[in-house]
Structure 1
Amino acid sequence: MPLVTTTEMFKKAYDGGYAIGAFNVNNMEIVQGITEAAKEEKAPLILQVSKGARAYANHTYLVKLVEAAVIECPEIPIALHLDHGPDFETCKSCIDGGFTSVMIDASSKPFGENIEITKKVVEYAHDHGVVVEAELGTLAGVEDEVNVKAEDSSYTRPEEVEEFVTKTGCDSLAIAIGTSHGAYKFTPAQCTRNEQGILVPPPLRFDVLEEVSKRLPGFPIVLHGSSSVPQNFVKMINENGGKMPDAIGIPEDELRHAAELSVCKINIDSDLRLAMTATIREHFVQHPGDFDPRQYLKPARAAIKELVRHKLIDVLGCAGKA
């Protein structure tokens, strides 16, 4: 099947109590690892590209890689999504360039300006058969061009969501309930330690999510900054020359609960980076004579595939939903 929008995906996910994985892609091996897992698990899929990915790999290369994945995986629906579009021009470029979904992130702007910018993108996108994700509230953390200090973050205000969705016409809404971008989502001071001495992050604000859901019944909600930062990969990195102290993510049981509610799309990026980097670092230590990129990118691709399989089955709940 050709690339699809997220409209039907989200309707089924909302009704079925699961979420679609939105995985960031930057190169061929990442695309292959994600799509091979989704194909085997018969899971619908969103492949998303950030402004930074387009600058790194080139828009055309990324689109063609995703189109190749569609050919290789005709059994599963795949959407191509712009992650954190910073302005109308970037969104327009992706809409004109083959994307089926775009996010306009004007969440750092005042409420009225966010509505104005989002509405402009929605009007252009809908005229071209493309759907739009918008954002209310501000997530902390660092990921590509997104860089928000903790003190500048803010939870979504449920009392604003109805007006925002009505006036903009957006198709899905990313909200802030305590997730955070990057691998360093929380400082140790923000966390507690369990009996094993492991840092435990503050719980997500499900009260905010539930209130938003009441005000927007049936409307698909999105969670950004939802990597879980698997500690086995952090340990592998640190044991093989890396330095990632206190990297911590969102507990997977909380993400699964969010998916059972109104969250239809969960973004995952840092976990893919960790799986790839940990595997490559370990390979270089164990095989110092290797210099062929295929020798270390092949196990890195396999690690991404297994990570994604786990997410599809155990976290998102979308395995078998294609």
Structure 2
Amino acid sequence: MRHLCARRLRHLAPRRGHHLRHRRVRARGLRRPAAVILQASAGARKYAGEAYLRHMVLAAVEAHPDLPVVLHQDHGTTPAVCMQSIHSGFTSVMMDGSLREDGKTPASYDYNLEVTRRVCDMAHAVGVSVEGELGCLGSLETGEAGEEDGVGAAGTLTHDMMLTDPEQAADFVQRTGVDALAIAIGTSHGAYKFTRQPTGDILAIDRIAAIHARVPNTHLVMHGSSSVPQEWLAIIREHGGDIKETYGVPVEEIRRGIRNGVRKVNIDTDIRLAMTGAMRQTFARERSEFDPRKALMAARKAARAICQQRFEAFGSAGQAGRMKAVSLDTMAASYA
């Protein structure tokens, strides 16, 4: 992943989704193909199993050999989890040392340093890149942390815990050697991010520039950054869904982040909402239909459309041809 992000030209950023069933969106129907990070959350790894995920990706790569692909493990809660993913064929891992092993208890800075540095040492030796996290995702409105697939701080957090400190970020990067850094700026996992259109008091986009100024050579990551399209919420509600009023991270704010060092944007909720809305819509329109493949085909089309929109907005559309695959051995040599 370090190589893919480093090749981002003129403020480009790839997007990613959690579930590898989305693998087709990167090739079929895309007007301007983009490099893609296929990211597996803890829930996806538990749901499908790492062996199945690995072979799904290998099949996708075989079908589309011209497209650059990174297989990234999201939110590893221990070095052991990250090592298992590396053994399973992941080419990039995230060590989330902002939380303890239970994935719920906020960890000390020293603990985060120690476990992240250990993963970097192990991963870099075999050419695998590492994403770390500094700060906890959570709502600056409520103080409640975001939770995803069982990973997320429990209880109420202070603003300091939910905002990455630029000076501490510089120290963290220097002492761990991470390739990418997930930062906390008031975003959270899932669909329920903000109760109103976010402004600077609840979405600290300006902080990204300050962090980037201190770690200009580190790829910044925005977790919990789905935009929560209102049109898909309306479709879900129209066809029996019960999703309360909620707002996401505006695309233009993400673009501001990209201009200030963000190179990976996590938008899985947008894909989930589009797929869910499309499936609900399909079965509502065709009430006698019982073949799930029809709904899944509609879901795939909706996911592809969301991805295409984000590829274009984030500047990664059409960049696939400018990327060249780099072997893990070559990456390992670059870390040595």
Note whether the superposition's TM-score is higher than 0.5: yes
> 1:79 is paired with a residue of what secondary structure?
strand
1:31 paired residue number:
23
TM-score by length of 1: 0.89
Contact 1:34–1:304 (CA under 8 A) maintained in structure 2? no
- Please report how far the alpha carbon of residue 72 of structure 1 lies from its aligned counterpart in structure 2 after TM superposition: 2.0
2:151 pairs with 1:172:
no
- Please report how far the alpha carbon of residue 40 of structure 1 lies from its aligned counterpart in structure 2 after TM superposition: 4.0
Cα deviation, 1:277-297, whole Å, max 9, x if unaligned, reads 101111111111111111111
1:107 paired residue number:
98
Letter of the structure 2 residue corresponding to residue 289 of structure 1: S
Letter of the structure 2 residue corresponding to residue 107 of structure 1: S
1:9 maps to which of 4, 29, 37: 4
More deviation in 94-103 or 54-63? Answer: 54-63
Q: How does 1:188-199 map to 2 (within 5 A)?
A: 188=195, 191=196
Cα deviation, 1:215-274, whole Å, max 9, x if unaligned, reads 112221111001011111110100000000113211111011111220011111111110
1:161 maps to which of 169, 179, 188: 169
Letter of the structure 1 residue corresponding to residue 174 of structure 2: T
Contact 1:35–1:69 (CA under 8 A) maintained in structure 2? no
2:42 paired residue number:
51
Letter of the structure 2 residue corresponding to residue 145 of structure 1: G
> 2:243 is paired with a residue of what secondary structure?
coil
> 1:182 is paired with a residue of what secondary structure?
coil
2:319 paired residue number:
321
Contact 2:205–2:256 (CA under 8 A) maintained in structure 1? no
- Please report how far the alpha carbon of residue 8 of structure 1 lies from its aligned counterpart in structure 2 after TM superposition: 2.2
- Are the structure 2 counterparts of residues 33 and 207 from structure 1 closer, same or farther at C-alpha, using a change threshold of 3 Å? closer
- Please report how far the alpha carbon of residue 34 of structure 1 lies from its aligned counterpart in structure 2 after TM superposition: 4.2
1:124 maps to which of 122, 128, 137: 122
Contact 1:23–1:34 (CA under 8 A) maintained in structure 2? no
1:18 maps to which of 8, 12, 15: 12
Letter of the structure 1 residue corresponding to residue 69 of structure 2: I
1:244 paired residue number:
243
Letter of the structure 2 residue corresponding to residue 180 of structure 1: S
Unaligned stretches of 5+ residues in structure 2: 100-106, 139-145, 321-336
2:75 pairs with 1:78:
no
For residues 222 and 311 of structure 1, what CA distance do their matches in structure 2 show? 15
- Please report how far the alpha carbon of residue 32 of structure 1 lies from its aligned counterpart in structure 2 after TM superposition: 1.7
> 2:133 is paired with a residue of what secondary structure?
strand
For residues 119 and 64 of structure 2, what CA distance do their matches in structure 1 show? 30
- Are the structure 2 counterparts of residues 150 and 266 from structure 1 closer, same or farther at C-alpha, using a change threshold of 3 Å? farther
- Please report how far the alpha carbon of residue 35 of structure 1 lies from its aligned counterpart in structure 2 after TM superposition: 4.3
Cα deviation, 1:183-216, whole Å, max 9, x if unaligned, reads 0012x3xx3xxxxxxxx12333233211111111
For residues 70 and 151 of structure 2, what CA distance do their matches in structure 1 show? 22
Contact 1:48–1:83 (CA under 8 A) maintained in structure 2? yes
Q: How does 1:135-146 map to 2 (within 5 A)?
A: 135-140=133-138, 141-146=146-151
> 2:147 is paired with a residue of what secondary structure?
strand
Q: State the percentage of identical aligned residues.
A: 40
Cα deviation, 1:125-172, whole Å, max 9, x if unaligned, reads 111110000000110222212234684251001110121111111111
Superposition RMSD on alpha carbons, in Å? 1.6
For residues 233 and 155 of structure 2, what CA distance do their matches in structure 1 show? 22
Contact 2:209–2:257 (CA under 8 A) maintained in structure 1? no
For residues 235 and 207 of structure 1, what CA distance do their matches in structure 2 show? 31
1:91 maps to which of 82, 98, 117: 82
Unaligned stretches of 5+ residues in structure 1: 1-5, 192-199
